[in-house]
Structure formats: C-alpha cells, structure tokens
Amino acid sequence: MPGKQITRVSLGIAALTGTFALTAAGQAEAATPRCATADLAVSLGEPEQREEATGQFDVPLTFTNISSRACALSGVPAVDLVGPDNPNGPVYHLPRVDDGTRVTEVPPGSRATAAVTVLSPVPGSTSWTPSKLVTVPPGRMEALSVDWPSDLPVLRQDGATRPGSWVNGIVADPG
C-alpha cells in the first residue's frame, strides 16, 4: 500500500523468557525477566469488606520476590480455592478479571498483590469454607499454595455468568 511502512520486529528469546520493550528504533530489547514460580513466596492478607457491596470481601494475595534479582509480574494469576467436597467438587476455580494492570517490576524482597474478591454466603445458602488457596503466577505453570482464613466462608457460584467472586490483576505494593 502506498504510504504505509511496515516494520518487522524480531522478538527472539526476550519474548520467550520474559518481558520486552520496544526501543524508539522499533527493536526489541530484553527488559526485566518474568518472575519464575521459584522466585516467589505467596501469602494472604486480612480480608476487608468491600464498601460498595455487602457480603463481598477483598483478600490481598501477595507475591514476595524471594530471589536475589528483580523480576516482573504482569497480568492476572490463576486462583483456585480448595476445600471440602460439595456437589461441584472440592475445587472452586475463580474467574480472572483483566483490570488493565501493567508490568510490575518486583525488586528482591519486594511485593506485588492481586485482590481476590469473594462473596460470602447469604442466609439460606450453603456455606463452604476453603482450606487453602492455590495460585499460578501469570505466565507460569507451577503452583503455590497458602492456607485460607478459616473464618471466611465463600458462596460457590460455579458456572454463574456473573459470579460474585473473582481475582484481579497484579499491582505493585505501595511500600
């Protein structure tokens, strides 16, 4: 097409092993590599009730970089709540919400967090309390797990089109 110029960019190894940035010349440049699961420890913070919705709680899912180098976390982690068996099974897969978070560089010893939003049971519904949360960091296949707060039951909505429980994208911790 006249007037159109196409620039080819070869991403090579940078695209396979981590994140990359495009320079002003349009060349791919390796940036901070994506965090490997072995680089991370995971923990849960205190549940906080959401102001705009009764019965919903945000539970901070915190990834701490335990390696000696900076690494990047970007996107939405996979999250499963695991607990006692019920008619839908012992695992509740939470949907992921891509809320537009960007690449977050995590220096050694620093943290990044994704909010896990859960809906607590309403009167007359079946109560189900997970025993643990299993998560897979974005772009990885290996899982990490952490104990779920024993005083926070969850309303399972397996197969719901608009469930009240989900996991949000990762953001840098302010401190």
Q: What average pLDDT does the segment 72-86 reach?
A: 95
pLDDT 10s digits, 19-32: 444 545 444 445 88
For residue 16, what pLDDT is reported?
A: 39
Q: What average pLDDT does the segment 99-119 reach?
A: 88
Residues 6+ apart with CB under 8 A from 82: 90, 91, 92, 130, 131, 132, 133, 134, 145
Alpha-carbon distance 73 to 53, whole Å? 29
For residue 23, what pLDDT is reported?
A: 47
- What are the helix (H) ranges across 2-120? 12-17
Residues 6+ apart with CB under 8 A from 145: 42, 82, 132, 133, 134, 135
Q: Give the β-pairing of 132-136 and 91-93.
A: unpaired
For the chain, what are the domain ranges? Answer: 1-32, 34-172
Instruction: Reply yes or no on whether the pLDDT at 14 is more than 60.
Output: no
Q: Which architecture does CATH list for 34-172? A: Sandwich (2.60)
Region for 114 from its dihedrals, namely left if φ exceeds 0, alpha if ψ lies in -120 to 50, beta otherwise: beta
Alpha-carbon distance 16 to 152, whole Å? 39
Alpha-carbon distance 132 to 137, whole Å? 16
Q: What average pLDDT does the segment 100-115 reach?
A: 87
